[in-house]
Amino acid sequence: MLEEENKCEDILPDDDSVADEDTNSDDESVNRLKSKLDEAYGKQEDLHTKYLRTVADLENVRKRSIRDRDEAIQRTKKQIIEDLLPVIDSFNMGIGEASKVDSDGPLVKGFQMAIEQLNSVLADYGLTQIDAVGGEFDPQIHEVIGYESTDKDGIVLSIVRHGYKIKDNLIRPASVIVSKLESIEK
């Protein structure tokens, strides 16, 4: 029987070795859990970063689409107004010629009212006429088509064709006659 007890002792582990194995097992479990937790936090950070980037990209797309839409509207307005400018010029020439015959006649008054109404509608869209008679010549808004000799230099004497701009954007420069200082030859 003593032999059997010795065999049993060999089979059963010591209490100290069991405690060491439990500690090692617990440490491994804790390490595995920490590893999985760190991995989960890493994935969460990645997902959060991707979410923030996606939100930022979406906001940029929204802003860009609003800007593109506004630019398209402005280009369309500009194109329509540019197409109407020759019509306005023709009306103004027609009124000028009709005024020579009968300046107070119903035809002239009717055309003047129509032009005023058209100018009012175009002004609502931001169109302004460049009016610089008597002012300094500005090459950014004026186009010189002729000179007249006077005692002053660089003054706009008359406008042959009106210029227009929408806000600060030039649509068409004003065609003007500019003064040129008389040169005195002896």
Q: Please write the tens of the pLDDT for every residue from 81-123.
A: 999 999 999 988 888 888 888 888 888 888 889 999 999 999 9
Segments forming the whole domain that contains residue 149: 129-186
Over residues 6-31, the mean pLDDT reads 62
162 domain residue, yes or no: yes
**For residue 167, is it left (φ>0), alpha (ψ between -120 and 50) or beta?**
left
- Domain count within the chain: 1
User: What pTM was estimated for this model as a whole?
Assistant: 0.62
Instruction: Kindly state the tokens that stand for 186.
Output: 């002896």
59 domain residue, yes or no: no
CATH number of domain containing 182:
2.30.22.10
**Count of CA atoms in the C-beta half-sphere (13 A) of 95:** 17
